[in-house]
Amino acid sequence: MSDTPRAGKPRIATCSLAGCFGCHMSLLDIDERIFELAELVEFDRSPIDDKKKFDGRVEIGLIEGGCCNEENVATLREFRRHCDVLVALGDCATMGGAPALRNDIPLAECLREAYLEGPTVHNPERRLPADPELPLLLDRVYPIQEVVPVDVFLPGCPPSAEAIWQALVALIEGRAPELPYELLKYD
Amino acid sequence: MSGSTRRLVIEPVTRVEGHGKVTILLDERQRVREARLHIVEFRGFERFVQGRPFWEVPVLVQRLCGICPVSHHLAASKAMDRIAGVDRLSPTAEKIRRLMHMGQIFQSHALHFFHLASPDLLFGFDADPSVRNVIGVARHHPELARQGVLMRKFGQEVIRATGGKRVHAIVAVPGGVNRSLDPADRERLRAEVPRMMTWAEDAVALARDYTLEHLEQLEEFGSFPSNHLGLVTADGDLELYDGLLRAIGEDGATLFDGVQNERYAELLAEEVRPWSYMKFPFIRSLGPERGWYRVGPLARLNVCRRIPTPRAEQARRAFFDALGGAPCHVTMAYHWARMIETLHAIEQIERLLDDPDIVGDDLLREGERRDEAVGVIEAPRGTLFHHYRVDANDQVVMANLIVSTTSNNEPMNRAVRQVAERHLAGRTEIDDGLLNHVEVAIRAYDPCLSCATHALGRMPLEVELRGADGALLDRRTRD
Ligand code: SF4
């Protein structure tokens, strides 16, 4: 690994793969504490800022969503390479979540339904989307630990803002997060 | 592709998050031959929702989008009300849902304006990207950043108080809701309203001043005449929860009006183009070439005759007085229109919190089961359509969704093309102006590419200039 460790505040990077951005919304649901977080850490690449590439090591990487196409896999591997601690944020990253409902259905059927069958579809040439610009879809949706090793799992759809906050504070302080039951129960 | 064409790739979010990207193909004279916004992800909701019990759908479909989950929750619920045979909810159930919806409009618009778009407006399109983000706003305009965060928080709290959770609510069920508003929550929220009203008015003023100061530049920027579509009441008032479909042409003439939601598929179709997973909706009677339309805040102001709350109505009049009457086609005026709706949302929230029904206990209605239904709602980003068929076992057998951002697909592509033509004319190199301006033009639509899959606003860009043989000729990246 060529990244050199950097002095200063710990860095956090986040990304959304096959997720709905609800986990990112839950992160923003820490409300005013976002300013506190900005004091504690440096934001590295994330959809909420303009940084696009890793240019050094990052202490904490948060991944929302599983992998549904080849590009998700490449992004995930890049995160794993650059992040000391990789966190599976939410049910999609942890076990595929709602997008993995397609795993029991042949992909071709999903595409047919969306682009050939619907009551508003206009597709006289009956062509499915297929273009060099579109990354290849995977046969099914993979949770991230089926692709790379994961250090911390934060279940929930989404995990609550409080759960994310407590886990982040623990990781920033170099501790393993231990969350009380109330922060991990589901609907 | 001829030997002398060149291909530019702009990847907003994509290479990083895998959601969308832009390619621009130049001909031998460096003119734009083709400009495309590709949506590169596909989920398959319409297929995998089949087989699920219909009463589960309003909770499931929220997972299409964590930024506007309430819109999907309510559009599906409205369809499932009808499946359950219920045409009219109890007053309490309808008001709880409306309150949640207004909370959603308020939080989503605040998120977009303050967290995502304000850096462009405050620092300029060409400002240093390292400050052009919400943390930069917090450093240079701390009070404004704080207001933005607290406005979003308030909207999210309205959703939590009504829906049970801030993200992915669990309240609407076919025929009504499963809980009422806790009087303590009502008091707490009510106490916050005056402050939110003031800040919403301030935000309208901020968006107005920005638009009017830069009007000459903005009128040229990614703007073009188009059709517009949205929901209105039978009297033509703005109506975000349960209206009739109205569409107008680029000259403001009515294309259709008073259309019941069930008839949407007679009027609208979606063209499939092989280079994007996002379809291209159009008005059938005009065909795919001329029938495309815009949705969202600007389109809604254009199709309504009035806003039924006083402060937002006053703001609407000021908007059209300043911009030369309806319809307005200035793409960047979306921001101002969005803030007018934010003001409308807080006015509605005030009304609903003051309504005694909001803490009532008559929550559910029943009726005779139907097989097919449509639910349409105005989501923050525009008209959202959910259409389902259900079999005798209560299982979904057909689902069709037209999500808001999809309707803005063609307009976003046009905006990209127009910006590219202006900035690339005769050049052989990519400059930052192209990166920034394409980004700003797409962002005006607040695209929810997660619904259609999803970019959370800030779009880091990378442009590659390639010869037809694939060799890299130039690359510009902004980190
Ligand atoms: S876990 Fe839930 S909230 Fe998070 S991305 Fe997946 S569907 Fe969205």
Residue range B334-346: mean pLDDT, rounded: 97
CATH number of the domain encompassing residue A159 = 3.40.50.700
Residue range A86-114: mean pLDDT, rounded: 92
A10 C-beta closer than 6 A to ligand 1:
no
Q: Do residues B134 and B140 make contact, with C-beta atoms less than 8 angstroms apart?
A: no
Local confidence band at B388 (pLDDT 50, 70, 90 cut-offs): very high
What is the extent of the structural domain holding A167?
Answer: 11-101+140-184
Q: Is residue B23 part of a domain?
A: yes
CA of A64 to the centre of ligand 1 (A): 7
A161 C-beta closer than 6 A to ligand 1:
no
Residue B136 half-sphere exposure, CB side, CA atoms within 13 Å? 21
Question: For position B448, what pLDDT does the model report?
Answer: 60
Q: Is residue A55 part of a domain?
A: yes
| A53 to B167: CB separation less than 8 angstroms, yes or no | no
Q: Number of folded domains in chain B?
A: 1
Q: Is residue B449 part of a domain?
A: yes
Q: What residue of A is the nearest CA neighbor of B154?
A: A31
| A133 to B134: CB separation less than 8 angstroms, yes or no | no
CA of B168 to the centre of ligand 1 (A): 9
**Strand duo A58-64 + A83-89: pairing:** parallel
The rounded percent of chain A whose pLDDT value lies above 90 is 60
Q: Is residue A127 part of a domain?
A: no
Question: For position B222, what pLDDT does the model report?
Answer: 78
Q: Residue with the nearest Cα to atom 5 of ligand 1?
A: A19
Q: Is residue B422 part of a domain?
A: yes
Residue range B432-460: mean pLDDT, rounded: 59
Q: Is residue B203 part of a domain?
A: no
Task: Give, as one character, the DSSP assignment of residue B277.
Answer: S
Q: Is residue B136 part of a domain?
A: no
Q: Is residue B355 part of a domain?
A: no
CA A148 to chain centre: 13
The answer on pLDDT for A100 being more than 80 is: yes
The answer on pLDDT for B450 being more than 90 is: no
A107 C-beta closer than 6 A to ligand 1:
no
Question: For position A182, what pLDDT does the model report?
Answer: 87
The answer on pLDDT for B468 being more than 70 is: no
DSSP B412-440: HHHHHHHHHHHHHTT-SS--HHHHHHHHH
Q: What residue of B is the nearest CA neighbor of A16?
A: B17
How close A144 gets to chain B, by Cα (Å)? 14
Chain pair A-B, CB pairs under 8 angstroms: 231
Where is mean pLDDT largest: A112-121, B53-62, B453-462?
B53-62
Question: For position A4, what pLDDT does the model report?
Answer: 59
Local confidence band at A136 (pLDDT 50, 70, 90 cut-offs): confident
Residue range B457-463: mean pLDDT, rounded: 41
Q: Is residue A116 part of a domain?
A: no
| B21 to A31: CB separation less than 8 angstroms, yes or no | no
Structure tokens belonging to residue B12: 């907003």
Going by C-alpha positions, the residue among B32, B113, B29 that lies closest to residue B343 is: B113
- Could you tell me if B405 lies within 8 Å of chain A, comparing CB atoms? no
Q: Is residue B424 part of a domain?
A: yes
A143 C-beta closer than 6 A to ligand 1:
no
Structure tokens belonging to residue B161: 């108080």
Local confidence band at B55 (pLDDT 50, 70, 90 cut-offs): very high
The answer on pLDDT for A83 being more than 50 is: yes
Q: Residue B170 and residue B168: Cα distance in Å, rounded? A: 7
ipTM of the complex: 0.93
What is the extent of the structural domain holding B428?
Answer: 5-40+414-478
Question: For position B473, what pLDDT does the model report?
Answer: 52
Q: How far separated are the first and last CA of chain A, in Å rounded?
A: 41
Q: Is residue A128 part of a domain?
A: no
Residues near B435 by Cβ (< 8 Å), separated by ≥ 6? Answer: B10, B461, B463, B476, B478
Give tens-digit pLDDT for B261-272: 999 999 999 999
Question: For position B19, what pLDDT does the model report?
Answer: 60
* Unique residue bearing structure tokens 């942890």: A94
Residue range B392-409: mean pLDDT, rounded: 92
The answer on pLDDT for B122 being more than 70 is: yes
Give tens-digit pLDDT for B147-176: 999 999 999 999 999 999 999 999 999 999
Q: Do residues B293 and B229 make contact, with C-beta atoms less than 8 angstroms apart?
A: yes
| B41 to A69: CB separation less than 8 angstroms, yes or no | yes
A179 C-beta closer than 6 A to ligand 1:
no
| B456 to A24: CB separation less than 8 angstroms, yes or no | yes
Q: Number of folded domains in chain A?
A: 1
Q: Is residue B199 part of a domain?
A: no
A95 C-beta closer than 6 A to ligand 1:
no
